Amino acid sequence: MTHIEKPLSINDLTAMKQRGEKITCLTAYDASFSALIDKAGIDMMLVGDSLGMTIQGHGSTLPVTIADMVYHTRCVSHARQRAFVVADLPFMAYATTALATENAAKLMQQGGAQMVKLEGARFEIVSFLVGQGVPVCGHLGLLPQSINQLGAYSVQGKEPAAADKMMEEALGLQQAGVALLVLECVPAPLATAISGQLQIPVIGIGAGLGCDGQVLVLQDMLNIGIGKRPRFAKDFMQGADSVEAAIRAYHLAVKQSLFPTAEHSF
């Protein structure tokens, strides 16, 4: 009889933070990579709207639809056994509480997501979703869905006022009910301070070693992306004899606090 491993829960990830074990996460968009990432022992998979660039070839995440997200989330969730699955609510899919509720339901009921992620300090939306039983992951720092407002993909929270605001927003999101927080392109000292203040796990991408875990876009860490690899992403295929070996090397590097280094931090 084949042993089917029980998927990790948010309680498992929270316990990892409490005991000081780093959480590993990679993006996933299809069944084949989902199974491989899962086999390599990665704790969490993010079905990111980054698929707009990596899979669809767009210049940003903005064209991605909720139908796209449901489809790719379903592909990923069908193939995994252990990893915790989080799915992005795409651009304008949570503009109101009604829209957020409808689209979160699609990602969970049709896509099989265990948690949905949204960008920004959307306290009211978060609180409402959590009240309906929807686990929510927050996202602060660089917000790709706001690229036309930001003007460029750049580090956020460098100035003292901006850093104070981000800390305030992180605490506010925790109070609103998020059970997980992603910090993207944030100075390492600020990300470390936020991770220390929050009781929920904080996952960094370009946010230094002090976060409770790390996430990278799969295509970036395998060096197969169509654009320039971000500074914070390391090529784990270098020196690896297979894709699985590269994923295992990333997993081990994060677990042992060997990644990210200062070279991959701000």
Q: Which residues are annotated as catalytic?
A: 184
Q: Which DSSP helix (H) or strand (E) runs through 24?
A: strand 23-27
- DSSP single-letter state for residue 263: G
Distance of CA 156 to the CA centre of its chain: 17
Q: Which DSSP helix (H) or strand (E) runs through 220?
A: helix 218-221
Strand partners, 180: 137
For residue 213, what are the CA distances in angstroms to 19, 130, 180?
13, 23, 11
Compute φ and ψ for 23, nearest 5 degrees.
-100, 130
Cβ within 8 Å of residue 222, ≥6 positions away: 235, 236, 237, 243, 246
Which residue type, as a one-letter code, is found at position 202? V
